[in-house]
Chains A and B, each alone.
Chain A
Amino acid sequence: MQVLLSQLAAAPWQGVLLLVVAVGFVILPQLLSAIAAVLMSLGFGLVMSGQWLKFLTALRPTLFAQADPVFQRDISFYIFRLPVAELLEFWLAGLLFFSLIMVTLIYLLSGKSLSQGRFYRFLPVQQRHLYGLAGSLLLATSFGHWLTRYQLLYFTQGVTYGASYTSVHVNLPVNTGLSLLAFSLALVMLWRTIFWSVSFGSLLEWLTEVGHHRHAYLPPISKHPPTLRLLFWGLSVYGLLVLLGGIIAPVVVQRLVVQPNELARERPYIERSIAFTRSAFDLDNIQVEFFEPDYALTLQDLEQNSQTINNIRVWDTRPLLESNRQLQQIRLYYEFLDADVDRYSLIRDDGTIDRRQVLISARELNYEQVPTEAKTWVNEHLIYTHGYGFTISPVNTAADSGLPDYFIQDIAHVPSSEVVRRSIPVGEPRIYFGELTDTYVMTRTRVEELDYPSGSDNVYNTYGGRAGITIGSWWQRLLFAKHLNDWQMLFTADFTPDTRLLFRRNIKERIETIAPFLRFDADPYLVVADVDQTDIEKAPEAVIKRDEPNYLYWIIDAYTTSARYPYSDPGSYDFNYIRNSVKIVVDAYHGSVNFYVADATDPIIQTWGKLFPNMFQSLDDLPPALREHIRYPQDFYQVQSDQLMTYHMTDPQVFYNREDQWRAPSEIYAKESQVVEPYYLIMRLPAQESAEFILLRPFTPAQRNNLVAWLAASSDGDRYGQMLLYRFPKQELVFGPEQIEARINQDPQISQRISLWDTQGSRANQGNLLVIPIEQSLLYVEPLYLEAEQNRLPILARVIVVYQNRIAMAATLEQSLEAVFGQNPPPSAPPILRELGENPATDELTPLIDSAGADGGADTGTVAAPDSEL
């Protein structure tokens, strides 16, 4: 109803339209009703066929092997069947209500009652008709009340999500009563339709007469006009129950019974909500450990954790993309839309493997960027067909100039070293299917496609991949000219019998069209991997000579969700159950799409697997070269960690008081405050032997700034999907990102330096503040970028490292680390080093040599010369 009113408020002309239609119905009831009946039927057909996903899943539900605590029904009933029952109820109620109103109106206006100026009464036969319709409508209403009982599991009136004390003790019996009452009233009305003047009492009398066998023939049944008494009382009781039981009683009970004694009354329901939310968001499997920082890190420890140190991310997507746009775009029609974090194994000269975290970015072709003068049909569909290549940058180093370092760069895809050449295959990195490939193209035409620019010339080629629909013959051309609404296709002379059409090339559109029942991660990522092509192709025709090797694939994470998991709190999302059930691989050159089931335990994906038996493959079928690159998906992790901020509290009392509510800390990024997003790291978890690729997010308490826990999700090999929550002891203060950032910014010399750089023409931007657990300690790292205001080409100017009480700022990460942990600072670039908590009265302009003594090392020269190498 609210939807309707807001709609009317937004567009008043709709009100006028409504009135006109209403008057129409009064003037021409019969004719307009017939038209309306056709329209309504078409509307119902359309609405219902739009809900085909719900109907399909209802046909093949999969058990969750878990029942809800109120009705003891398996959860699959709620996920798969309840939505369909609601749709049926909506349809039945709508249809019968419309029929009832329509029939009443027609009878009311029949016999020229308007021109007579008076309507006398409904004829008995009309009354029977109306009783029949009203009875059916009441049946539908009864069904609706029955469904409302189940919907109580999603009510939000108590302290938690789901049916609370009041719902179970008041709303539930009231709705059961309403349903039964409506059902009996419906029976009474239908009785009147069928038997009309025979009352139930006289039928009973007649039956007993017949039973006594005293007559030779059937006795006459007594008939008298029906009285309305029973119906009247029934309807009154129904109305009263709706008012009292549905509206007043819940409020009264909530106020007078529950609220004075809330925790005691609601405790079992809070327990349910916690348990079901945790299982719906898969928080049950998070292993909890305690992390007691001892701050005993030494340089030796750092060397032992070289994998972690070598993969500390000082570059992130934003500055890298800005640099890429300036340095790597090469032609204006190329664009780097996004840079994705991934890890690659580099094979060193001695055969050992070095895992490096990198940012990979696809150089896609964006047809929008082509100058308007050159936007011709031939250019759009025959020549500018594909992007070319990618860049890979290590996340932890910068070139000497401060610009990003590249493992692979330029159109020629120059590897930075022999190690990279050996480890990362390049092939012919053509991107026909990507995130910006929104145009449809025709390949193998008489016109050659632009491959890549080379010097002042361009190199041309012809697509040799497997994708595309043949449009050699005239009828195929006609079909697609019509389908794409592009009639120039019919008249071009450039087509050959071998010409193919590639459309729906945007990978998101592609997978959404194939699998509309999944929801997708916002961030597809590009993977370079040498996969034996026959592995990934399902079709046997796939065995094609590979003269143009292609190693580019997109991986997209997909989710199955539902909003119908009982007692599960959706938080700020529109679903309350989610699993990362599918990983999708799209070939950037051949366009093939493959679905791999990542979570076979999810009943929803099992149901889809039953419906589409050949669609999904097991994750074990994913080629190993690609499997190395699967990662714990960021959106899923974000949803889970958002829920965990509240639902790590498993004790009902703590939960009720929200004693231990967490939040995501915020940081200052490029002068603006933002929430610390989950970030990927390569690090060794305290309990593990080797370093792995994990996704990490720190938490702080709701009202304070210190760190309270961090959550890690693993991505590698067998440990994929495992989650670990490390909690800090409550009695000890561990600095949170806000506090560390405050300490960085209030350091006189760092602040001075930033302000100095931040003057006219340039900006010093603080990057992501990373909290990095090493051994039993925490290290905080924040890069500082410097960029001109006009032509943005950020360079990595400084790296700030904070450890315990020490802050160091130096040109590179190594120098900062050495300054913090080392005995001798490197002479070339004297870092700024500060001892905190000591000598607060130090004059900010005096070099901090005094405090060095406090550290014990006389020769340390914890030199904090106001660094003068600028």
Chain B
Amino acid sequence: MLRDRKVSRRQVSYLKWATLMLTTFLVFNIAMFFWAEGLWFQEVDYLSVFWLRLKTQISLGLFFCLTSLGVLGGNLWLTQKWAYVKVEGDRRSRQGIGLRWLLLIGLGLGLLMAVQLLYQGKLRPVTGSQVTPSTTAACPPPSGSNQTQCRYC
């Protein structure tokens, strides 16, 4: 029992070190990237553009990430508090829903979560064409037809 705890402590410290090193490596990488980019922007004399972009992106990313984490984490915490620990109920009662429906509903909900998790990026509003740069031609070749495109389908 005692030995077990010791091992797990050592494991924890390894894990800590690994996380620390990984984080340092990542942070270092990111810092290097932005530093080099910053030097380039400084050279072309548009450093202020780079700074504003960086500031905006970081604050947007942080705000939405932390708020989302707060909302989801808060809800998870509440479920921990309020979830059934043990069920008080009559085993023979026909109340509630049986296994078949429970599984079906559970799987359905799980599927909804999976879809949202995996396709979140793809489901965002398709209004992206505002002031987005195009890497190739600004304007696609004219098609000749004047039919309006439906962008809501």
Chain A residues within 8 Å of B, Cβ to Cβ: 2-4, 7, 14, 17-19, 21-26, 30, 33-34, 36-57, 79, 83, 86-87, 90-91, 94-99, 101-114, 116-121, 123, 125-126, 129, 133, 151, 154-156, 161, 467-469, 479-480, 482-483, 503-504, 510, 512, 514-522, 538-539, 559-564, 569-575, 591-593, 604, 611-612, 614-615, 635-636, 638-639, 642, 645-646, 661, 663-664, 675
Q: A38-B69, A83-B127, A512-B133 are in contact. Are A4 and B119 (CB under 8 A)?
A: yes
Alpha-carbon separation in the docked complex, A761 to B58 (Å): 63
Alpha-carbon separation in the docked complex, A514 to B48 (Å): 10
Residues of chain B in range 21-56 having any CB-CB distance to chain A below 8 Å: 32-33, 35-37, 39-41, 43-46, 48-49, 52-53, 56
Nearest Cβ on chain A to B130's Cβ, whole angstroms: 5
B113 contacts across to A, CB distance below 8 A: 21-22, 25, 33, 36, 98, 101-102, 105
Q: A4-B115, A113-B102, A479-B35 are in contact. Are A642 and B133 (CB under 8 A)?
A: no
* B7 on interface, CB distance cutoff 8 Å: no
Nearest Cβ on chain A to B54's Cβ, whole angstroms: 9
Alpha-carbon separation in the docked complex, A593 to B41 (Å): 11
Alpha-carbon separation in the docked complex, A520 to B133 (Å): 8
The majority secondary structure among interface residues of chain B is: helix
A517 contacts across to B, CB distance below 8 A: 131, 133
Nearest Cβ on chain A to B91's Cβ, whole angstroms: 8
- Whether A562 pairs with B65 at a CB distance below 8 angstroms is no
Q: A97-B116, A121-B95, A663-B144 are in contact. Are A45 and B62 (CB under 8 A)?
A: yes
Residue in B closest to A42 when the chains form the complex, CB atoms: B65
Alpha-carbon separation in the docked complex, A34 to B75 (Å): 10
**What are 27 of the A-B contact pairs (CB < 8 Å)?**
A7-B119, A18-B111, A22-B110, A22-B113, A25-B110, A34-B76, A37-B68, A44-B65, A44-B68, A49-B56, A54-B130, A87-B124, A87-B125, A102-B113, A103-B78, A105-B110, A111-B83, A120-B89, A120-B95, A120-B96, A129-B78, A129-B82, A538-B45, A572-B140, A636-B139, A642-B142, A664-B144
Other A-B contacts than A18-B114, A110-B84, 12 sampled, CB-CB below 8 A, are: A53-B131, A86-B125, A101-B109, A104-B109, A109-B106, A119-B97, A504-B40, A512-B133, A517-B133, A539-B45, A614-B48, A635-B138
Alpha-carbon separation in the docked complex, A720 to B123 (Å): 43
Nearest Cβ on chain B to A656's Cβ, whole angstroms: 14
Q: Which 6 A-B pairs have the closest CB atoms?
A: A111-B84, A45-B65, A25-B110, A49-B61, A110-B83, A37-B72
Residue in B closest to A595 when the chains form the complex, CB atoms: B46
- Whether B99 pairs with A114 at a CB distance below 8 angstroms is yes
A646 contacts across to B, CB distance below 8 A: 146
Alpha-carbon separation in the docked complex, A86 to B39 (Å): 36
- Whether A111 pairs with B85 at a CB distance below 8 angstroms is yes
Alpha-carbon separation in the docked complex, A282 to B41 (Å): 34
- Whether B78 pairs with A521 at a CB distance below 8 angstroms is no
Residue in B closest to A80 when the chains form the complex, CB atoms: B130
* B8 on interface, CB distance cutoff 8 Å: no
B135 contacts across to A, CB distance below 8 A: 512
Residue in B closest to A36 when the chains form the complex, CB atoms: B117
**Residue in B63, B99, B109, B151 whose CB lies within 8 Å of A105:** B109
Q: A54-B130, A108-B102, A109-B106 are in contact. Are A49 and B116 (CB under 8 A)?
A: no
Nearest Cβ on chain A to B83's Cβ, whole angstroms: 4
- Whether A45 pairs with B130 at a CB distance below 8 angstroms is no
Nearest Cβ on chain B to A44's Cβ, whole angstroms: 5
Residues of chain B in range 117-153 having any CB-CB distance to chain A below 8 Å: 117-125, 127, 129-140, 142-153
Residue in B closest to A666 when the chains form the complex, CB atoms: B144
Alpha-carbon separation in the docked complex, A467 to B149 (Å): 45
* B2 on interface, CB distance cutoff 8 Å: no
B116 contacts across to A, CB distance below 8 A: 40, 94, 97-98, 101
Alpha-carbon separation in the docked complex, A723 to B44 (Å): 36
A47 contacts across to B, CB distance below 8 A: 64, 120-121, 124
* B57 on interface, CB distance cutoff 8 Å: yes
Residue in B closest to A516 when the chains form the complex, CB atoms: B133
Q: How many residues of B contact A (CB 8 A)?
A: 97
Nearest Cβ on chain A to B23's Cβ, whole angstroms: 15
A121 contacts across to B, CB distance below 8 A: 95-96
* B12 on interface, CB distance cutoff 8 Å: no
Residue in A closest to B62 when the chains form the complex, CB atoms: A45
A118 contacts across to B, CB distance below 8 A: 89, 91, 96-99, 102
A469 contacts across to B, CB distance below 8 A: 39-40, 43
Chain B residues within 8 Å of A, Cβ to Cβ: 32-33, 35-37, 39-41, 43-46, 48-49, 52-53, 56-58, 60-66, 68-69, 71-73, 75-76, 78-80, 82-87, 89, 91, 93, 95-99, 102-103, 105-107, 109-125, 127, 129-140, 142-153
Interface centre among B52, B120, B145 (most CB of A within 10 A): B120
Q: A53-B131, A111-B84 are in contact. Are A26 and B107 (CB under 8 A)?
A: yes
- Whether A639 pairs with B68 at a CB distance below 8 angstroms is no
A572 contacts across to B, CB distance below 8 A: 140, 142-143, 145-147, 149
B52 contacts across to A, CB distance below 8 A: 56, 611-612
Residue in A closest to B60 when the chains form the complex, CB atoms: A49
**Residue in A43, A129, A483, A663 whose CB lies within 8 Å of B120:** A43
Nearest Cβ on chain A to B136's Cβ, whole angstroms: 7
Alpha-carbon separation in the docked complex, A362 to B57 (Å): 38
Residue in A closest to B46 when the chains form the complex, CB atoms: A514
Alpha-carbon separation in the docked complex, A514 to B45 (Å): 10
- Whether B76 pairs with A519 at a CB distance below 8 angstroms is no
Alpha-carbon separation in the docked complex, A60 to B76 (Å): 38
Residue in A closest to B126 when the chains form the complex, CB atoms: A3
Nearest Cβ on chain B to A43's Cβ, whole angstroms: 5
B153 contacts across to A, CB distance below 8 A: 2
Nearest Cβ on chain A to B97's Cβ, whole angstroms: 5
- Whether A86 pairs with B127 at a CB distance below 8 angstroms is yes
Nearest Cβ on chain B to A189's Cβ, whole angstroms: 16
- Whether A41 pairs with B136 at a CB distance below 8 angstroms is no
Residue in A closest to B53 when the chains form the complex, CB atoms: A52
Nearest Cβ on chain A to B103's Cβ, whole angstroms: 7
Alpha-carbon separation in the docked complex, A169 to B148 (Å): 22
- Whether B139 pairs with A95 at a CB distance below 8 angstroms is no
B57 contacts across to A, CB distance below 8 A: 49-50, 52
- Whether A467 pairs with B122 at a CB distance below 8 angstroms is no
Q: A522-B137, A563-B129 are in contact. Are A23 and B107 (CB under 8 A)?
A: yes
Alpha-carbon separation in the docked complex, A50 to B58 (Å): 10
B91 contacts across to A, CB distance below 8 A: 116, 118
A560 contacts across to B, CB distance below 8 A: 131
Alpha-carbon separation in the docked complex, A173 to B91 (Å): 52
Residue in B closest to A50 when the chains form the complex, CB atoms: B57
- Whether B111 pairs with A83 at a CB distance below 8 angstroms is no
- Whether B44 pairs with A592 at a CB distance below 8 angstroms is yes
